């Protein structure tokens, strides 16, 4: 963000309006509880009263965490789960520079509890920012890798929210729109980095985020959070590894919906829902592979004996509640073995 | 609402929670500025601090008007147009008993200025209620006529928002979803009054309202408001008369989009966008006719010499700003003559 000049741009605008500001940039991938806490201290010291988050999912989630703890007290881990926030947050303005996390338009913030090696989902309507500036121009400074990783995240949001237990007709249409746009434009965006295609990914990311913000995600995100917590891997690159195996596991409970996804991305249906579903998963698998990155879990997890722990952690993730098929830690272990 | 037992039901719930309440029921079709003002006086006298609106578009818009004037002062006409509200409104809870107006989920309130014989559109994000209870069970007590009139209103919202100048990919998918559901379920809902079909209309009405709340409507609504202001006709029944003629007038400026509507409601495309558009308008015309009501403007306006005035009023309606084709009062007159 600094190298791309966006930080300077924001600072210039604040100066022009004669607004006091303080800059906080200690944010890593899979942002940590301690980074939130440090931001909170700065917020309080400086008597700040507004939070601006600039960047991808990590800085935006950190901004949300800071706004939350600064106004509600305690520590970020006190708010893990859904609807545990009591007091209003300071005004938040988010400026996404990737098209994927959807943090700019969702009620989620995901922060890593370093001690427990867990990525906590914090879910509350009050985590929606007051304003988001969603401008595809800001996507032009991304690397090809980042475009791809973000698009994969949006794809996973779209697919998981579509088959979620609490999906509604309102989220379903947004999920399908996102799936369609990502399958159509992600490769072109990565290859050309042209504004036209990046804009389509921006639309897709927002549609997917409106869907998952209301319908939640599922087992794939539960596992992705556990992987991020234990191994600090970049969230977007986890999806190609896990998504196909999770969808195969879930498919018996959402065959009709998987057939609709198939119809959407293949432009046709096969002889049965099962056949269309299988073809859809193959197509998604092939699409993920075409964007690069690891395809096997063993490329991320060095030691298979760690899988038990990983799956026990994932089994406690709030995202699992909306997965279409009930899954205990042993089911998740089966998925990991398939993805191994 | 009283006869159907819904008023009593709300009162019971308030009593159970030991909340003080006052009941205001002086609301007519095309609700009047004086009815809003009377409600404001009552609100103030009783030192109320929350507004609950129960019913179709008229009671909900009246509730919004009362909440607005009670908190911002002056008269309802002071707020005509977009974004003219300065102070926060009291909490609003809306409970729709029709599936069409979308007032429960939109930033619009439409109130009749009786002196000027004009229906004023008041548009502001702050007119969104804090809570809406959208329960299709409440639709079961509607007459067949009311189901049809409300569905026609939702259809017009969906079509006009889809071709609006400020439509976005987010509103477009909602508009199309609404069009599809209304064409599929409205007749069945009217004929059977079964919950299953009414629920689909409820989904459609909400999708259409999310679309028009963000994308606006167009010339058809501008004319419908003028007709409501001058002749106090039921809003829903105006659409079958005007919609086809407005779409024919607009079509040169939104041929691609009209072809998408055609594809959606006909399940196929013809040789050209123009041909698909024409077939779509015919199909919409036929569909409107199948729901009953007047089909010619002369059945609503007794005297053709009044059309000039009507169109001059419509030409000043804020809804015209988002119409895909520029239209002066003489263009609107042409539309009225076609619909005559």
Closest-CA residue of A relative to B207 is A170
Nearest-neighbour CA in chain A from B55: distance (Å): 23
Percent of chain A with pLDDT over 70: 100
Hey, which residues 271-310 in chain A have their CB within 8 Å of chain B?
none
Instruction: Return mean pLDDT, chain B.
Output: 97
The token pair that represents A84 in the structure block: 């545990």
Q: What is the pTM of this model?
A: 0.92
Does A131 contact B at CB distance below 8 Å?
no
Q: What pLDDT does residue B62 have?
A: 98
Q: Mean pLDDT across the stretch A273-297?
A: 94
DSSP B116-144: TTEEEEEE-GGGS-SEE---GGGGGGS-H
Domains of chain B (ranges, CATH numbers): 6-134 (3.40.50.1970), 143-339 (1.20.1090.10)
Q: Are strands A108-113 and A131-132 parallel, antiparallel or unpaired?
A: unpaired
Residues in CB range of B286: below 8 A, 6 or more apart: none
Interface test with B, best of A169, A204, A213 (most B CBs within 10 A): A169
Instruction: For residue B206, list chain A residues with Cβ-Cβ distance below 8 A.
Output: 170
Q: Is the pLDDT of residue A179 over 90?
A: yes
- Please state, in angstroms and rounded to a whole number, the distance separating the CA atoms of residues A184 and A204: 10
Q: How far is B314 from chain A (nearest CA, A)?
A: 33
Residue A295's pLDDT band (boundaries 50, 70, 90)? confident
Sheet with A118-123, edge to edge strand ranges: A81-82, A118-123, A108-113
Query: Residue A293: left (phi > 0), alpha (psi -120 to 50), or beta?
Result: left
pLDDT, tens only, A113-127: 999 999 999 999 999
User: Whose CA is closest to B323, among B230, B240, B257?
Assistant: B257
Q: Which two structure tokens, joined as six digits, stand for B33?
A: 């500025």
Tokens 């195996």, residue located: A245
Q: Are A63 and A24 in contact (CB under 8 A)?
A: no
A210–B177 CB contact, under 8 Å: no
A209–chain B Cβ distance below 8 A for any pair: no
Give yes or no for B211 touching A (CB within 8 A): no
**Distance of alpha carbon A36 from the chain centroid:** 18
Bigger pLDDT: B40 vs A293:
B40
pLDDT at B260: 97
Note whether B24 and B45 are within 8 A (CB).
no
Query: What span, in angstroms and rounded, lies between the C-alpha atoms of A16 and A28?
Result: 29
d(CA B183, CA B285): 11
Hey, are the CB atoms on A174 and B173 less than 8 Å from each other?
Answer: yes
Quick one: pLDDT band at residue A28, thresholds 50, 70, 90? very high
pLDDT band at B49 (very low <50, low <70, confident <90, very high): very high
Spell out which residues of chain B touch residue A211, defining contact as CB-CB under 8 Å: none
Cβ neighbour number for residue A320 with a 10 Å cutoff = 23
**B210 touching A, CB under 8 A?**
yes
Among the partner-chain residues A173, A203, A206, the one whose CB lies closest to the CB of B174 is A173
> Nearest-CA neighbor of B247 among B262, B236, B232?
B262
Q: Which residue of B has its CA nearest to A170?
A: B207
**Backbone CA torsion sign across A128, A129, A135, A141:** negative
* Separation between Cα atoms, residue A207 and residue B171, nearest integer Å: 11
Calculate how close chain A gets to B86, using CA atoms only, in Å. Answer: 17
Joined tokens for residue A44: 């309080």
Instruction: Band the pLDDT of A184: cuts 50, 70, 90.
Output: very high
Q: With 90 as the cut, is the pLDDT of residue A293 above it?
A: no
Q: What does DSSP assign to residue A166? A: T
pLDDT in tens, B200-226: 999 999 999 999 999 999 999 999 999
**H or E segment and range at residue A225:** helix A219-231
**Contact check, Cβ <8 Å, B173/A207:** yes
The total of other beta-carbon atoms located within 10 Å of residue B110's CB is: 25
Over residues B271-275, the mean pLDDT reads: 97
Residue B302 scores a pLDDT above 90: no
Mean pLDDT of A55-70: 98
Neighbour count for residue A87 (Cβ, 10 Å): 9
A192-210: per-residue pLDDT in tens?
999 999 999 999 999 999 9
In this predicted structure, what is the pLDDT of residue B295?
87
Task: Give the number of other Cβ atoms within 10 Å of residue B22's Cβ.
Answer: 11
What's the CA dihedral at B153, B155, B157, B161 to 10 degrees?
-170
Mean pLDDT computed over A24-53: 98
Using pLDDT thresholds of 50, 70 and 90, give the confidence band for residue B293.
Answer: confident
Closest approach of chain A CAs to the CA of B207, in angstroms? 7
* A174 contacts B207? CB cut-off 8 A: no
Contacts of A206 in chain B (CB under 8 A): 170
Contacts for B50 with CB less than 8 Å, ≥ 6 apart: B90, B91, B92, B93
Compute chain A's Rg from CA coordinates.
19
- In chain A, whose CA is at the least distance from the CA of B211? A170
**Average pLDDT for B322-340:** 97
Residue to substitute from B173, B181, B260, interface A, most A β-carbons within 10 A: B173
- Average pLDDT, stretch A166-193? 97
**Above pLDDT 90, what percent of chain B?**
99
Q: pLDDT digit string (tens) for A225-266?
A: 999 999 999 999 999 999 999 999 999 999 999 999 999 999
């Amino acid at each position: 963000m600094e190298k791309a000049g966006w930080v300077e741009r924001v600072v210039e605008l604040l100066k022009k309006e004669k607004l006091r500001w303080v800059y906080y940039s200690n944010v890593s991938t899979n942002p940590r509880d301690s980074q939130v806490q440090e931001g909170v201290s700065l917020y309080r010291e400086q008597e700040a009263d507004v939070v601006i988050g600039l960047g991808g999912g990590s800085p935006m989630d950190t901004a949300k965490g800071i706004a939350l703890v600064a106004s509600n007290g305690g520590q970020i881990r006190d708010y893990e789960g859904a609807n545990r926030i009591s007091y209003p947050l300071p005004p938040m303005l988010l400026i996404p520079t990737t098209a994927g996390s959807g943090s700019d338009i969702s009620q989620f913030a995901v922060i890593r509890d370093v001690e427990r090696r867990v990525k906590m989902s914090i879910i509350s309507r009050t985590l929606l920012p007051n304003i988001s500036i969603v401008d595809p121009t800001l996507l032009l400074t991304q690397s090809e890798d980042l475009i791809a990783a973000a698009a994969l995240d949006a794809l996973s949001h779209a697919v998981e929210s579509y088959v979620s237990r609490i999906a509604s007709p309102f989220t379903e249409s947004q999920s399908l729109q996102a799936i369609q746009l990502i399958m159509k434009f992600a490769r072109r965006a990565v290859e050309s980095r042209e504004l036209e295609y990046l804009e389509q990914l921006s639309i897709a990311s927002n549609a997917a985020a409106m869907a998952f913000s209301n319908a939640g995600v599922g087992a794939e995100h539960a596992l992705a959070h556990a992987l991020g917590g234990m191994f600090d891997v970049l969230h977007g690159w986890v999806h190609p590894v896990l998504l196909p195996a999770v969808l195969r596991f879930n498919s018996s409970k959402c065959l009709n919906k998987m057939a609709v996804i198939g119809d959407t991305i293949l432009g046709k249906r096969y002889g049965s829902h099962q056949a269309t579903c299988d073809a859809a998963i193959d197509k998604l698998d092939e699409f993920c592979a075409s964007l690069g990155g690891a395809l096997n879990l063993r490329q991320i997890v060095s030691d298979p004996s760690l899988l038990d722990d990983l799956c026990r952690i994932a089994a406690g993730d709030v995202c699992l509640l909306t997965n279409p098929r009930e899954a205990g830690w042993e089911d998740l272990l089966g998925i990991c073995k398939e993805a191994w």
